[in-house]
Chains A and B, each alone.
Chain A
Amino acid sequence: MTAWSILVVEDDELLGLLLGELLVEMGHRVCAIAIDEAAAVDAAAVHRPDLMIVDAGLGQGCGLRAVQTVQATGSVPHIFTTGDADSVRRSRPDAIVLEKPFNEPQLARAIALAMS
């Protein structure tokens, strides 16, 4: 299993922290945890992660916009986390969506899919 450098974007700080710790437990590197769209774009530019795990519901769909902005400078594999998978799939039909709450196996599968 390859260890990836992952950027976590999640506006709920506690959840972001836990997710980060889970990823570390799974053997990956967490370069940063960003809590809003602007911070996410900045962190992506600074750390150049291998993978982004982005909360779609970052206050009115900014998660999707954040990814869009980052993609403008170069394609980065990404996973969307959300409580409402359907609405995300409707606007991004071919994105990898992880529905909250998710467990570790589900997360591992999503990561493998994103990095394949």
Chain B
Amino acid sequence: MNQTFRGAGLAPNASAARIDRSEWNAWGIGLLSILLCLGLGLIWLQRINTMMVAHTIEVDERLATVMSSLQDAENGARGYEITGRKEFLEPYRGALARLEPDLSAVRSDTVDNPRQQAAIDRVSVQAAKRMAQIAAAIALRDSSGISSEAFVELLRQGRSTMEATRLEIVGMRAEEARLLIKRQQSADATLLWSTVISIVGILLAIGTNLVGLRDQSRRKALVSAGRDELFAANTALVSGNERTEDAESQLRQLQKMEAVGQLTGGIAHDFNNMLAIIIAGLDLARRQLRADPDKALARIDSALEGARRAATLTARLLAFSRQQALSPVALDPNRLVSGMSDLLRRTIGEQVRIEIVLSGGAWRVHADVAQLENAIINLCVNARDAMVDGGRLTIETSNAHLDDSYARLNGEVVPGQYVLIAVTDSGVGMPPDVVRRAFEPFFTTKGAGKGTGLGLSQVFGFIKQSGGHVKIYSEPDAGTSVKLYLPRWLGPDHADAVTAAIPPPTPVSAREELVLVVEDDPDVRTVSVDALRYLGYAVLHAASAEEALEVMARHPRIDLLFTDIVMPGVTGRVLADLAVKAHPGLKVLYTTGYTRNAVVHNGVLDAGVDLLPKPFTVDQLGLKVREMLDR
């Protein structure tokens, strides 16, 4: 049964979308990580910026200190020069002490800035010069007192040096101020960036989380939806199966009704014709009764003919429904068939070659003589009609076993001993759907006016009513074989047959011999394969000659080829010829639904080949295979 699996969550598109979402998730988290790294980087950058800013401020302060130190030194010196009082020298001495360390500090603080380095060197030089001047002035005052020209000269020099130094320091401080602004701006920018990144990061985190959560709940929903789907589908499957069974039994009902419809339609048509004949005949007879009695008589005969036909029709229908009155007797089928040979050759035999093959030692059967003769004639007429341009007709008798596996494949058959009467033709054959309907009453493939379509249905009904079995083997363009099986009659005059000896056990294969079974009917193939395996053989199988050739190419070691003769496509005969050519020494066992005689008579096989006709029992198969392999 075909059940389509429907459900939104399980359709291909939805699963693709699901993949996208978890990709989304992965991307989101990746992005977040990157942003985090950036953020950390920015934090470090900010730290550096802050340090740099602090640095700049420090340098600036030190420069200011240097300036004020120099000022202090000057002021102190001037005070001493004017007053001569030693306490004025304190600031001068303090400044002198401070100056060198401060200058060094600035130098080391601006080591990364070449301009500032050059500037601080110049400042150092100027500062040193000034201090030297101040020292000189003090020394001068100490030694020779203040003379106006020298003092004024020193003052003048001092002023210019101081100015120069002041300018340098101002320049340096300006530079530091500039750097400060720059660094402040950088710090601000970094702050802005980290804020932005943080916000983006937060949003992303929230977003990813949401997606993740939604995805999670979506996944959960999908899983439970999937579970529900599965449950629903299972329920649907179960109820679908029930519905299918209902539908199937309804279909069978319809088919039965159709068959019944066909039957009643056929009956109505035929009976109406016969009634019309009777009524018309009698009507006309009445008219002619006084005027022309002879004519009237003729009409009455016509009416009677119609009535007779009607009676025959009833009889045939009863035959089909297995309710006709039969008078069975014990009879020898060989005698019966040979007794009919003249009649058959007369009825059938203008363009058709008839061969009658009776097997010696055929068992007796218990059946109605007239009906059996009727059945055989019926089959022969059908055979003739199938061979429009002439052909060969073979009638055979033989003993047969129908075993359990055969009974399994053909319902209503009781396994046991039967006598086979087979009628085989070399005509057009029937396709499987015609074979299936062949026994239906009023089913006919013949054109209008040729036959009632009741012949085979009568045969079928009669044989069934006699405890027998009918089987049709046919393939298009390969002819038809109709096999009548009647149960063996073990009457009082055949007491010896009852106590049959226990047959020897079927020989098996102890050496894992390899057999290739080639058979297009799957049921028969299965039975043969299973039987051979049961008997210990290794078995390969193929459903056609083409397949068989492939198998043989892969397994050249095959010991026995067991093939059906008539198969669609390449026949068993051709297959065997090819196989033996490729593997000389390969043994070939043929089988066929047609009888041996028919097959030989029609030139399909040469007389000396090994043939096991269907249906065969497991014992028969085992014996034949063993015998062939032991040769």
Contact = CB atoms under 8 A, between A and B. Distances in A.
Interface stretch (A13-21, A46-54, A69-77): A13-21
A62 B277 contact: no
Contacts of A84: 265, 268-269
B279 interface: yes
Interface stretch (B65-73, B85-93, B213-221, B281-289): B281-289
Contacts of B268: 83-84
A104 interface: yes
A25 B287 contact: yes
Contact of B272 (A18, A21, A22, A100): A100
Main secondary structure of the interface of B (DSSP, over half): helix
B448 A12 contact: no
B306 to A, nearest CB: 7
B447 A15 contact: no
A14 B308 CA distance: 13
A101 interface: yes
Contact of A101 (B269, B272, B287, B447): B272
A100 B273 contact: yes
B616 interface: no
Contact of A25 (B273, B284, B302): B284
A25 B270 CA distance: 26
Interface of A: 11-12, 14-15, 17-19, 21-22, 25, 35-36, 57-60, 62, 81-84, 100-104
A82 B272 CA distance: 8
Contact of B281 (A18, A81, A104): A18
B305 to A, nearest CB: 6
A22 B449 CA distance: 23
Nearest to A105: B283
A84 B299 CA distance: 26
A98 to B, nearest CB: 10
B449 A101 contact: no
Contact of B276 (A21, A25, A36, A101): A101
B272 A11 contact: no
A22 B288 CA distance: 11
Interface in B489-503: none
A14 B277 contact: yes
Contact of B306 (A14, A35, A36, A103): A14
Contact of B280 (A19, A59, A62, A83): A19
A18 B280 contact: yes
Contacts of B277: 12, 14-15, 18
Contacts of A100: 272-273, 275-276
A35 B272 contact: no
B276 to A, nearest CB: 4
B272 A83 contact: yes
Contacts of B305: 14
Given A18-B284, A84-B268, A62 B278 contact: no
Contacts of A22: 280, 283-284
Contacts of B449: 11, 35-36, 59
Nearest to A35: B449
A101 B271 CA distance: 9
A59 B270 CA distance: 12
Interface string B331-367: 0000000000000000000000000000000000000
Nearest to B273: A12
A100 B268 CA distance: 10
**Most A-side CB within 10 Å, residue of B271, B276, B305:** B276
A31 B161 CA distance: 159
B283 A103 contact: yes
**Most A-side CB within 10 Å, residue of B275, B302, B448:** B448
Interface in B271-324: 271-273, 275-281, 283-284, 287, 299, 302, 305-306
CB-based closest 4 A-B pairs: A59-B448, A83-B272, A18-B280, A101-B275
19 contacts: A14-B305, A15-B277, A15-B280, A18-B277, A18-B284, A21-B280, A21-B284, A22-B283, A25-B287, A36-B449, A57-B269, A58-B448, A82-B272, A83-B268, A100-B272, A100-B275, A102-B276, A102-B279, A103-B279
A12 B305 CA distance: 12
**Most B-side CB within 10 Å, residue of A17, A35, A60, A100:** A100
B281 A36 contact: no
Contacts of A83: 268-269, 271-273
Contacts of A102: 276, 279
B302 A14 contact: yes
B201 to A, nearest CB: 83
A62 B448 contact: yes
A53 B300 CA distance: 24
Contacts of A11: 448-449
Interface in B426-456: 447-449
A58 B448 CA distance: 7
A79 to B, nearest CB: 14
A9 B283 CA distance: 20
Contacts of A18: 276-277, 280-281, 284, 299, 302
A104 B283 CA distance: 8
Nearest to A58: B448
Nearest to A10: B273
Nearest to A25: B287
Contacts of B448: 11, 36, 58-60, 62
**Most B-side CB within 10 Å, residue of A25, A36, A83:** A83
Contacts of A57: 269
Given A21-B284, A22-B280, 4 more contacts: A14-B306, A57-B269, A83-B268, A83-B269
A25 to B, nearest CB: 6
